[in-house]
Amino acid sequence: MRTTINLDEDAMLLAKTLAARERIALGEAVSRLVRRGAGSSAAAPDQQPLRGRFALLPKRGEVITPQHVRDLMEREGL
């Protein structure tokens, strides 16, 4: 069925990400996400919650400093 809907930016990003990852149409991705949401009140465990366009990771119990970032960049060759 063809329809027009307005989505929040984070919802659209989530749908586009799912569509790209699963190589499916955007409409199919939105349908899957709606069905998932209707099936449970909590988010699916394999999906990270979003803040704007960025996924939130679980707390690690440590503060990430610029030195952490530099060390990682050096290790990854960036």
pLDDT band at 48 (very low <50, low <70, confident <90, very high): low
Separation CA 16–CA 32 (nearest Å): 12
Helices 26-39, 9-22: inter-axial angle, 10-degree rounding: 110
Percentage of residues in the chain having pLDDT higher than 90: 44
Q: What is the pLDDT of residues 2-23, one digit of tens each?
A: 889 999 999 999 999 999 999 9
Separation CA 29–CA 12 (nearest Å): 10
The tally of CA atoms less than 13 A away on the side-chain side of residue 10 is: 10
Q: Is a pLDDT exceeding 60 seen at residue 38?
A: yes
